[in-house]
């Protein structure tokens, strides 16, 4: 059989077709390779594998066919050369830090990233002599001003959580490269279906596969996508030694998740857009944060940079924390959980959950107020979601 050139195919097709090397059993569906090790034909063959002179499976901490299928699919969908999967999204971020940083280095991080990301950089990398400065995601002047001679990379999440703010990836990549830094983009909210940061100039893309890639809230996993150079020098050697490996079972769930990602993202976005417009009309709602709305400060940028506006909506209520908790507690169907990207709609109060461990002044700078509620809009009928919110409005 001739080797197919998958680069020519669209992401929807790549997501379904790439990565499965059919075994001697001629199975149609990707198998779960539940094996920790592999058998070599001879001592000589084993030696060639271990030195890397011959490619092939060695040990499932760093080579597994099911994990590899997932990696190949996601790499192509992001238009990257390679992908390395990790045990979680945080493990993927940890790998980027461990691979790229050394004592004395500096990181510029968006103030509006996943709470644990800031804690990882400040509390843990900070212990080993890496300093981190946080800047306002949308302020390009502040990004450039924060860069120092020892800055290794800029780290950004766009759209951000929970305020769904957006930064111009191409403009930020230019700033990073002008100062010899790398740009790292956490692409969890958009997935490669809505936005491909590498095509806009980013150097590394990160995922928590736990969210939309799984899509049904079952497994925890993560991934790093970049060119061969970055993966070979900094990421893959760290996986092999550091060992925060994705399991074959989880990779199998995520690989099938990718197969339906395009249609799910379309449906998530449609439901979220409908809900955002509806929320904007509710008298008890002070402000809705959704880039599809004309009232959103980066609406034009969102239209240009993304193919749709995403599945997460957040909004501020008239009143404080009591009103937010009241609304959350009044729902009967929505899941009160901080997870997102699930077919089930989830509702959360960021100030007391995902961002609760941040120092109050950092939380305030990030704009996460006590009256803020975040919804990850699922695939239930949107009228049912509205009715559930109406109970507490």
Ligand X SMILES: *Cc1c(COP(=O)(O)O)cnc(C)c1O
Q: Which residues bind ligand X (CB under 6 A)?
A: 88-90, 114, 157, 161, 186, 188, 208, 210-211, 220, 222
Q: Which is nearer to ligand X, 94 or 324 (CB)?
A: 94
Minimal distance, residue 283 CB to ligand X, in Å: 31
Q: Which is nearer to ligand X, 75 or 87 (CB)?
A: 87
Minimal distance, residue 164 CB to ligand X, in Å: 12
Q: Which is nearer to ligand X, 16 or 183 (CB)?
A: 183
Minimal distance, residue 190 CB to ligand X, in Å: 10
Cα-flanking dihedrals φ and ψ of residue 375, to 5°? -125, 125
Q: Which is nearer to ligand X, 211 or 296 (CB)?
A: 211
Q: Which residue is nearest to ligand X (CB)?
A: 89
Distance CA 25, CA 16 (A): 20
Rg of the chain on CA atoms, in Å: 21
Residue 82: strand pairing partners: 226
Minimal distance, residue 137 CB to ligand X, in Å: 12
CA 94 vs CA 21, 80, 385: distances in Å:
30, 20, 36
Burial class (CB in 10 A: 0-12, 13-18, 19+), 80: buried
Q: What phi-psi label fits residue 116: left (phi over 0), alpha (psi between -120 and 50 degrees) or beta?
A: alpha
Minimal distance, residue 211 CB to ligand X, in Å: 6
Distance CA 301, CA 296 (A): 10
Minimal distance, residue 157 CB to ligand X, in Å: 5
Q: Which is nearer to ligand X, 20 or 207 (CB)?
A: 207
Q: Which is nearer to ligand X, 15 or 90 (CB)?
A: 90
Distance CA 73, CA 70 (A): 5
Minimal distance, residue 187 CB to ligand X, in Å: 8
Could you write out the DSSP letters of every residue in 283-345?
A: TTEEEEE-TTSTTSTTHHHHHHH-SS--SEEEEEESS-HHHHHHHHHH-SSSEE-S--S-SS-
For 57-89, the three-class secondary structure string (H helix, E strand, C coil) is CCECCCCCHHHHHHHHHHHHHCCCCEEEEECCH
Minimal distance, residue 213 CB to ligand X, in Å: 10
Minimal distance, residue 27 CB to ligand X, in Å: 29
> Beta strand 131-135 with 204-208: parallel, antiparallel or unpaired?
unpaired
Minimal distance, residue 273 CB to ligand X, in Å: 20
Residue 246 in contact with residue 85, Cβ under 8 Å? yes
Q: Which of 267, 222, 232, 217 is nearest to 92 (CA)?
A: 222
Q: Which is nearer to ligand X, 192 or 222 (CB)?
A: 222
Residue 253 in contact with residue 85, Cβ under 8 Å? no
Q: Which is nearer to ligand X, 189 or 278 (CB)?
A: 189
Q: Which is nearer to ligand X, 66 or 208 (CB)?
A: 208
Q: Which is nearer to ligand X, 60 or 160 (CB)?
A: 160
Cα-flanking dihedrals φ and ψ of residue 68, to 5°? -65, -40
Residues in the chain: 393
């Amino acid at each position: 059989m001739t080797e197919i050139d998958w680069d020519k195919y669209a992401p929807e097709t790549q997501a379904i077709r790439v990565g499965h090397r059919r075994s001697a059993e001629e199975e149609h569906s990707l198998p779960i390779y539940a094996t920790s090790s592999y058998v070599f034909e001879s001592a000589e063959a084993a030696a060639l594998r271990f030195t890397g002179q011959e490619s092939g499976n060695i040990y499932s901490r760093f080579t597994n066919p099911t994990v590899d299928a997932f990696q190949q699919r996601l790499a192509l969908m992001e238009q990257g050369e390679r992908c390395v999967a990790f045990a979680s999204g945080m493990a993927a971020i940890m790998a980027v830090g461990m691979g790229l940083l050394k004592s004395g280095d500096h990181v510029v991080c968006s103030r509006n990233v996943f709470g644990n990301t800031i804690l990882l950089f400040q509390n843990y990398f900070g212990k080993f002599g890496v300093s981190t400065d946080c800047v306002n995601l949308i302020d390009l002047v502040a990004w450039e001003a924060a860069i120092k001679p020892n800055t290794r990379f800029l780290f950004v999440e766009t759209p951000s959580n929970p305020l769904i703010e957006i930064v111009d990836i191409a403009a930020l990549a230019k700033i990073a490269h002008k100062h010899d830094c790398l740009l790292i983009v956490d692409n969890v909210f958009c997935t490669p279906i809505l936005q491909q940061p590498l095509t806009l100039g980013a150097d590394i893309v990160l995922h928590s596969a736990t969210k939309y890639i799984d899509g049904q809230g079952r497994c925890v996993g993560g991934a790093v996508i970049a060119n061969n150079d970055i993966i070979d020098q900094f990421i893959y050697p760290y996986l092999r030694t550091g060992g925060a490996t994705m399991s074959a079972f989880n990779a199998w769930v995520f690989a099938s998740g990718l197969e339906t990602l395009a249609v799910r993202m379309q449906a998530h976005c449609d439901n979220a857009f409908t809900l955002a417009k509806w929320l904007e009309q509710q008298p008890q709602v002070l402000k809705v944060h959704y880039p599809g709305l004309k009232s959103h400060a980066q609406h034009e940028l969102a239209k240009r940079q993304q193919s749709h506006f995403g599945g997460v909506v957040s909004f501020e209520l008239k009143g404080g924390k009591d009103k937010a908790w009241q609304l959350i507690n009044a729902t009967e169907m929505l899941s009160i959980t901080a997870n997102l990207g699930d077919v089930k709609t989830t509702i959360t109060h960021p100030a007391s959950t995902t961002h609760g461990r941040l120092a109050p002044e950092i939380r305030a700078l990030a704009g996460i107020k006590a009256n803020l509620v975040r919804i990850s809009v699922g695939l239930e009928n949107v009228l049912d979601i509205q009715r559930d919110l109406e109970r507490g409005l």
